[in-house]
Amino acid sequence: MHIVDTTRLPWELVVPNTRGGDVWRKVILAAKGGKQVSYDIRFERFGEGDRGYNSIRHRHDFEQLRFAALGRMDLGFDVLEEGDVGYFPANAYYGPQKCEGALILVAQWGDRFVTKEESDAAVAELSKHGEFRDGIYHAVGEGGRPFNKDPLNAIWEQVFGEPYKPQKPRYRQPVLITPSAFGWSESDGVTQSRKHGVFTENGLAVESVQWHTDGSFEAPAGDPRPTFLFTTKGSFTHDGQEFGPHTGVWAESGEGVTVGGESGSELLMVRFPAPSSRITLGLS
């Protein structure tokens, strides 16, 4: 089990940043890449004023989950308000995005996932032939004809050496969830829950958990889906370690997790698709 108390980590400016504005991050789990599903989770803070974050309308072949811990993010088609959870399906368009000063939990996963190291190397190579400017990659193609491209797609093509060909999205646009609008379940031991949804054939499951009395909450072992907990309110313990809000707890596929909490504490729990899942259909 992997526990990261983000309040103990410094903010790191994302460099290079191929979008507009500034983004700082605290890494909870770094993607490993490879042929199976890889997971990347970080807590991000966005710039303000003329350094506010912005991006063009775009789509990508990986899946994404966002939780607005503080502030809000304009997604173009709607707004992720403070406390909301957003599920962004692979290949579904969203944006243009705008965000200033917010703290957002961002989780991304896919079976052709570009790691930070691969992305940095691709940006360095692409910068020899073009320019990342105003959230767009500008370059000149064969015959001297200029073209513009979404930076993520340009990076993807550089890494995999083939044209980016998006598939049909499972959902046509992101799904925005208002957790506070859900009712709590009956008590299950020391906790109760709000079930927010299960998505796709790969079984992505999202719920909130609240302690109604002091005690331990357990996500049992044996599920092939990795489990991620993100604390949002209260006080928690694990194996003698104490932590509060904005802590990430990661349990690998098949691994169980037990966390103690005080009455009134809350967290977001995500069961991610198993490593053997197929996000990109037809992937060999």
Q: What are phi and psi of 51, to 5 degrees?
A: -105, 15
Whole-number pLDDT of residue 135:
83
CA quadruple 258, 262, 264, 266: dihedral positive or negative? negative
Angle at 98 (CA atoms; ends 195, 150), nearest 5 degrees: 100
Amino acid at 212: H
**Residues 89 and 65: beta-carbon distance below 8 Å:** no
Whole-number pLDDT of residue 284:
47
Alpha carbon distance 192, 283 (integer Å): 39
Alpha carbon distance 41, 30 (integer Å): 6
**Helical axes 151-160 vs 116-126, angle rounded to 10°:** 100
Whole-number pLDDT of residue 141:
85
Three-state DSSP state, 218: strand
Whole-number pLDDT of residue 143:
82
**Residues 234 and 244: beta-carbon distance below 8 Å:** yes
pLDDT digits (tens), the chain, 284 positions = 999 999 999 999 999 888 889 999 999 999 999 889 999 999 999 999 999 999 999 999 999 999 999 999 999 999 999 999 999 999 999 999 999 999 999 999 999 999 999 999 999 999 999 999 888 899 998 888 899 999 999 999 999 999 988 899 999 999 999 999 999 999 999 999 999 999 999 999 999 999 999 999 999 999 999 999 999 999 999 999 999 999 999 999 999 999 999 999 999 999 999 999 999 986 54
Whole-number pLDDT of residue 283:
54
Whole-number pLDDT of residue 282:
66
Structural domains in the chain, sorted by start = 182-271 (2.60.120.10)
